[in-house]
Structure 1
Amino acid sequence: MTRKGVDVILVGRDQAALKSAEAKLQGRDGSTISIAGDLSDRNSVAQIIAETDRRVGGIDILLLNGGGPPPIAASRYDEQFWQKQFSAMFLSQLEIAAHYLPGMCQRGFGRIIAVSSTSIREPIPGLAASNALRSALAGWAKTLATEVAGKGVTVNVLLPGRFATERTARLDAMDAAERGVDQDVVAADSQREIPVGRYGRPEEFADVVAFLASEEASYITGVALPVDGGLSRSI
């Protein structure tokens, strides 16, 4: 979307990373600002909303993307862990969307795009929190899409597969350590499972987001779209 001339607000926990990303986006059409905040902290979420309102006002395009939680077995119950992840990956995103949704409906244009995972269709072993909470967010998004479809607001969910990101590298490294093999071996095995034969490039995912955020995608809503190189076996 940065190539489309939109004004961008970046939100994240790591202020240094935010400033680095902000610097990379300078010199293009449209402004870029960054706001540091933690989606697992309800007070921080309120501050994110207040600072966004103060600096830019209403939001037309909302990309919801909570960080992936650490691996955990479904059989393991850690109340503090689950409460924190539930707040970060579900409640905070509903709160932010609810705040900006009335303005979208009033203006007759809005795009809410939630980044989920193919795990909502095919659960990934060891990632019980991600499997469960991303499924909950997808269910909410589908319900919301029906409620606001007649008001110019679309709500869609993207299901990224395996992309060449730091998180994928960390998961590959963990798998390699458990198997006692080199990380490159794990990555090669993983990519062989993907019909296109490679991890996705982050830019490819960004292009899908930009399309769904555009006027041209106004007839697409309530969709959970895999962006995974054909990895998902379900239709």
Structure 2
Amino acid sequence: MDLGIHGKTALVMGGGGGLGRAIAAALGAEGVRVVIADIHEESLHASYEAMRSRNVEALALQWDASDLSLVDGKCAEIEARFGPVDILVNNTGGPPPTPASGQPASLWETQFRAMVLSVIALTDRVLPGMRERRWGRVITSTSSGVIAPIPNLAVSNALRMSLVGWSKSLAREVGADGVTANVILPGRIATDRIRFLDEAKARREGRELSQVVAESTASIPLGRYGEADEYGSAVAFLASNRASYMTGGVVRVDGGLIASV
């Protein structure tokens, strides 16, 4: 299926991680010029090399998304190389596991800046060009916790939920200009982040990691963790012309994990 986005320019935040790398690969396979941004130089380089090995036209930018002063300069660098951003994938790292109560205000402030303000500031920077060209995609990756809050991930549950309200509001504002805004959320996808959370749970509960993983997969109707490329393919579809009538939505890629309608 031709997704109709060959020659577009995409910016994938968090492109050094498992999900970000898979998203970049899926877009690159459609002939999209891909900008990969990440704070971690080593993983960023690995993603860039993976793109180049597939003959994807790519640019790697080391970028601390929580530093809002960098937004204009980084976007100008992208525009000088590839032109304006057509597809923005907002994909931020997750906060440390915590309960809801007793967390210092400084933690909430730091994570709000990194996970929410960074997304809003970057979107505001690229959105006017999308509206002027009457084509754009804003795709924000969150977590299954925005629908079914995940125990001991209270900061993530709360802050990612705010992005759902923001994205839904944005979709109504920009739809007439040919720009769509959607949230996509992973269930349990086999990435380093999920392994870290499984290991933390095993330590916290004094159990073997294998027990935690078995219990987790048993709760998923498909009976397994998802693969990162399965998530990347779903993002690429949302970015495509094929999804031009999809906006304001929350798309689950969870293997049926979330039981609610």
Give TM class, smaller chain. Answer: over 0.9
Q: Which residue of 2 aligns with 1:178?
A: 204
Q: Give the SS at the match of 2:181.
A: strand
Q: Which residue of 2 aligns with 1:118?
A: 144
Aligned equivalents of 1:169, 1:175: Cα separation in 2: 10
Q: How much has 1:233 moved relative to structure 2?
A: 1.3
Percent identity of paired positions between Structure 1 and Structure 2? 43
The runs of 4+ residues in structure 1 deviating greater than 6 Å are none
* Cα pair 2:72 2:125 within 8 Å, conserved: no
Q: Is 2:250 the counterpart of 1:224? A: yes
Counterparts of residues 70-81 of structure 1 (less than 5 Å): 70-81=96-107
AA at the equivalent of 1:53: E
Aligned residues: 235
Q: How much has 1:46 moved relative to structure 2?
A: 4.3
* Cα pair 1:163 1:202 within 8 Å, conserved: yes
* Cα pair 1:60 1:110 within 8 Å, conserved: yes
Q: Is 2:55 the counterpart of 1:55? A: no
Q: Which residue of 1 aligns with 2:234?
A: 208
Q: Which residue of 2 aligns with 1:152?
A: 178
Q: Which moved more, 1:52-61 or 1:148-157?
A: 52-61
Q: Give the SS at the match of 2:95.
A: coil
Name the Cα RMSD after superposition: 1.3
Aligned equivalents of 1:206, 1:184: Cα separation in 2: 27
Q: Is 2:45 the counterpart of 1:19? A: yes
Q: Give the SS at the match of 1:134.
A: helix
Q: Deviations over 1:74-132 (max 9, x none)?
A: 11231221111101110111011011111111111100000011111111111111001
Aligned equivalents of 1:60, 1:42: Cα separation in 2: 20
* Cα pair 2:71 2:125 within 8 Å, conserved: no
What are the ranges of 5 or more consecutive residues in structure 1 without an aligned counterpart? Answer: none
TM-score for both structures, normalised by structure 1: 0.96
Aligned equivalents of 2:190, 2:81: Cα separation in 1: 33
Q: Are the structure 2 counterparts of residues 82 and 45 from structure 1 closer, same or farther at C-alpha, using a change threshold of 3 Å?
A: farther
Q: Give the SS at the match of 1:111.
A: strand
Q: Are the structure 2 counterparts of residues 189 and 89 from structure 1 closer, same or farther at C-alpha, using a change threshold of 3 Å?
A: same
Q: Give the SS at the match of 1:147.
A: helix
TM-score for both structures, normalised by structure 2: 0.87
Q: Give the SS at the match of 1:62.
A: strand
Q: Which residue of 2 aligns with 1:9?
A: 35
Q: 1:131 aligns with which of 154, 157, 161?
A: 157
AA at the equivalent of 2:252: P
What are the ranges of 5 or more consecutive residues in structure 2 without an aligned counterpart? Answer: 1-26
* Cα pair 1:5 1:29 within 8 Å, conserved: no
AA at the equivalent of 1:142: K
AA at the equivalent of 2:59: I
Q: Give the SS at the match of 2:122.
A: helix
